[in-house]
Structure 1
Amino acid sequence: MSTMPFKGTKGENLSIMIDTKEYNSYLHEVRAEPDDGEDADFITFANAATGDTEQWFLRGTLYNDYAADSLWTMAWLKSGTVVPFVIKPYGNAVASADQPHFKGDVRISRKPGIGGEAGEAHETEIEWEIDGVPTRVTAAA
């Protein structure tokens, strides 16, 4: 019985850029995913016109690092604004058909939390709304 080698991603090379800056070392996990639709009560005309009626979200867990150049600080300062994001699942600099990137715009919905449990890394869960559906990029822009 032959087995095909695993070609999926395990996350060790994933790269994420938010507002044109790479934040790989500040995120414990990150996902761009559609909502299950159970609570989707707000559909834009643009979504309805394309048939994309599920709301997409950028979800994950960020480490609370309050330094000036951290993801936490960027989220604190840009709360309520829309910023671009790019997820590079393979970590490759240039998108290709075999190693695509995914990009879009995300609204940083609220300021991140402060503090956490004693003796543990302080973390904040994020759930930011993506405008529309992320774009799959397969070639250099």
Structure 2
Amino acid sequence: MPTMVLTGVYLSLNANVLNEYARKAEVAVEVEEKDVTTYISAGWKLVIGGLKSGSLALELLNDFAATKLDSIMWPLIGTVVPFEIRPDQAAVSTSNPKYTGSVLVKEWGSISGSVGDEASVGVTYPTSGAVVRATS
């Protein structure tokens, strides 16, 4: 059975490679379910796909030093920026596809945690436009 353990995900947001801060990254795509049931369906529900949407969910270890994560993310709030994510930092290939698109940076939680916790932040950004999967 083929399996993979994620140990070196590549993550870029607005051309900033964020691998050193990322501890979780997830790109998800879904399609709306549209009910087109009519009497001809004999009591069975009929559905078709509607609009597609996606999200990029991240868990990041924050760094407040000059030129580090907080100073990268803060100016992006409210903007639509490109992203790229792939399972490994190696070159893009059939076994290491890249997913690209744009996301709306709608939030940034600079300081979060309790006494003794690491400075981490979890965010989820909606995609804007298509998410593309490529192998070259």
The TM-score bracket by the shorter chain reads 0.7 to 0.9
| Aligned counterpart for 2:76 among listed residues 69, 72, 78 | 78
Map of 1:86-97 to 2, 5 A cutoff?
86-93=84-91, 95-97=92-94
- CA RMSD across the alignment: 2.2
Question: Closer, same or farther in 2 for the Cα pair 1:97/1:75, shift >3 Å?
Answer: same
| Aligned counterpart for 2:104 among listed residues 101, 107, 115 | 107
Question: Closer, same or farther in 2 for the Cα pair 1:87/1:52, shift >3 Å?
Answer: farther
Aligned length: 121
Larger strand fraction of residues: 2
- 2:122 maps to a residue whose letter is E
Question: Closer, same or farther in 2 for the Cα pair 1:35/1:62, shift >3 Å?
Answer: farther
Partner of 2:64: 66
| Aligned counterpart for 2:120 among listed residues 123, 127, 136 | 123
Deviations 1:9-45 (A, max 9, x none): 311021111111211111120101136869xxxxxxx
| Aligned counterpart for 2:19 among listed residues 3, 18, 24 | 24
Partner of 1:46: none
1:71 and 1:35 map into 2 onto residues whose CA distance is 29
TM-score by length of 2: 0.76
Map of 1:130-141 to 2, 5 A cutoff?
130-139=127-136
Structure 1 unaligned spans of 5+: 39-50
Structure 2 unaligned spans of 5+: 34-48
1:112 Cα deviation after fit: 2.2
Percent of residue pairs identical: 26
- 2:60 maps to a residue whose letter is L
